[in-house]
């Protein structure tokens, strides 16, 4: 069992990472949250069918009322209507300021449950119980949000969890598509912070279909370490935390333009990272073999082209709504070197010059 520590300006909390990490949750609650009388578990339809009963069994002897809110799977959970429904249920269940919320699921459930916790009675404690690789990133750092049709994660808050229980048994059931989605964030974390970790990934991970669990556990641990180190420096994204958005400017625009849930977050981010690497080579002097990178991620099963059904002007407009962008031009996280990110602003012509060749079936 690995115990990682996340430090922010306002809170320090543990991440328990390993097989059967969930077994540590009851003791943690009994020791630190003895006065809490009720717990709301927020999970989605898919995860709930697989793991809700296991969580209930684990919590059977903690002498607290358990309530459950089951929400739609994936990005469909992150809507105003679902958020409102969760708040209504919390009120109906009689949750108070000493109640707890447990987020059992992937990144979408964690984002939603965290935002419910952040805003219910002006903020109550919550715990992250990630069930996907992708959630290794979103479960740490306290960024919680729901989507708006105009942009991803536009309505949200900073609300740190009390602890994270990352049970590796959960990810054994993940479909390959979700493994890829989460692994894209691990690649991102290596590129922006740790050249040695990036070299380890490219040398050791040649397939995601039969990835070794020990390798995957190490990669997740390293990814959480990267995220934690950045959050420690900049909890509220006033500086270096923005570097975690590498690949996300175009990635979020693709997700938004296709419709949330039409493409996984990691699939969108991978296309965005290829684009950000192209921009980095052109406008930031990055010395990087992009062809080798594309061949590697192609072998891992990622697509690296923008879907042909999308329109360049629509993507430009969507990128201008990105939270990092504050003027008429578009703000990107680029790389001066692997491990050395930088923020740069580019105009429409500069963006289009590199983006147009990336469309499927377009030259």
- Rounded to the nearest 5°, which phi and psi values hold at 33? -130, 45
Q: Is 108 marked within a binding site? A: yes
Instruction: Tell me the three state secondary structure of residue 68.
Output: strand
Judge whether 107 is annotated as a binding position.
Answer: yes
CB 155 within 8 A of CB 233: no
Dmax of the chain from CA atoms? 63
Annotated binding-site residue? 143? yes
d(CA 163, CA 6): 9
Residue 74 known to bind ligand: yes
Tell me whether residue 265 is annotated as binding: yes
Tell me if 76 is assigned to a ligand binding site.
Answer: yes
Under 8 Å between Cβ of 113 and 126: yes
Cβ atoms of 88 and 82 closer than 8 Å = no
Cβ atoms within 10 Å, residue 234: 16
Q: Rounded to the nearest 10 degrees, what angle do helices 265-283 and 248-258 cross at?
A: 140
The annotation status of 78 as a binding-site residue, yes or no, is: yes
> Is 4 exposed, middle or buried, given 0-12, 13-18 or 19+ CB atoms closer than 10 A?
middle
Q: How far apart are the first and last CA of the chain?
A: 50
63 appears as a binding residue in the annotation: no
User: What is the rounded distance in angstroms from the CA atom of residue 84 to the CA atom of residue 91?
Assistant: 11
| Residue 305 assigned ligand-binding role | no
Q: CA 231, CA 225: separation in Å to the nearest integer? A: 10
Q: Which residues contact 363 (CB under 8 A, 6 or more apart)?
A: 357
- Alpha-carbon distance of 176 to 188, in angstroms, equals 19
280 assigned to a ligand binding site: no
Is 56 labeled as ligand-binding?
no
Q: Is 325 annotated as a binding residue?
A: no
Residue numbers in the known binding site for Zn(2+) are 185, 248, 265
Residue numbers in the known binding site are 73-78, 107-111, 131-132, 143, 152, 185, 248, 265
Residue numbers in the known binding site for NAD(+) are 73-78, 107-111, 131-132, 143, 152
């Amino acid at each position: 069992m690995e115990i990682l520590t996340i430090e922010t300006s306002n809170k320090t909390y543990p991440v328990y990472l390993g097989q059967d990490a969930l077994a540590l949750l009851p003791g943690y609650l009994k020791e630190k949250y003895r006065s809490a009388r009720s717990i709301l578990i927020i999970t989605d339809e898919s995860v709930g069918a697989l793991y809700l009963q296991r969580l209930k069994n684990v919590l059977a002897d903690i002498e607290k009322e358990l309530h459950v809110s089951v929400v739609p799977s994936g990005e469909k959970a992150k809507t105003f209507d679902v958020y409102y429904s969760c708040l209504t249920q919390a009120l109906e269940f009689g949750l108070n300021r000493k109640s707890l919320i447990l987020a059992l699921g992937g990144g979408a459930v964690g984002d939603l449950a965290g935002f419910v916790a952040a805003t219910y009675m002006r903020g109550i404690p919550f715990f992250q119980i990630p069930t996907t690789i992708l959630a290794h990133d979103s479960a740490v750092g306290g960024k919680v949000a729901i989507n708006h049709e105009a942009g991803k994660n536009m309505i949200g808050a900073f609300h740190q969890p009390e602890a994270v229980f990352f049970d590796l048994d959960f990810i054994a059931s993940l479909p390959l598509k979700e493994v890829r989605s989460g692994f894209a964030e691990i690649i991102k974390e290596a590129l922006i912070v740790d050249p040695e970790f990036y070299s380890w990934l490219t040398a050791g991970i040649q397939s995601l279909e039969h990835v070794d669990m020990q390798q995957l556990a190490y990669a997740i641990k390293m990814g959480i370490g990267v995220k934690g180190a950045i959050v420690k420096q900049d909890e509220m994204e006033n500086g270096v935390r923005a570097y975690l958005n590498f690949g996300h400017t175009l990635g979020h625009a693709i997700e938004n333009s296709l419709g949330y849930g039409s493409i996984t977050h990691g699939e969108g981010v991978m296309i965005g990272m290829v684009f950000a690497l192209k921009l980095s080579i052109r406008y930031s002097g990055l010395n990087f073999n992009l062809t080798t990178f594309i061949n590697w991620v192609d072998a891992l099963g990622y697509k690296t082209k923008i879907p042909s059904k999308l329109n360049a002007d629509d993507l430009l407009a969507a990128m201008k709504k990105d939270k990092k962008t504050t003027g008429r031009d578009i703000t990107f996280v680029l790389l001066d070197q692997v491990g050395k990110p930088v923020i740069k602003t580019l105009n429409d012509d500069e963006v289009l010059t590199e983006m147009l060749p990336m469309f499927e079936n377009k030259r």
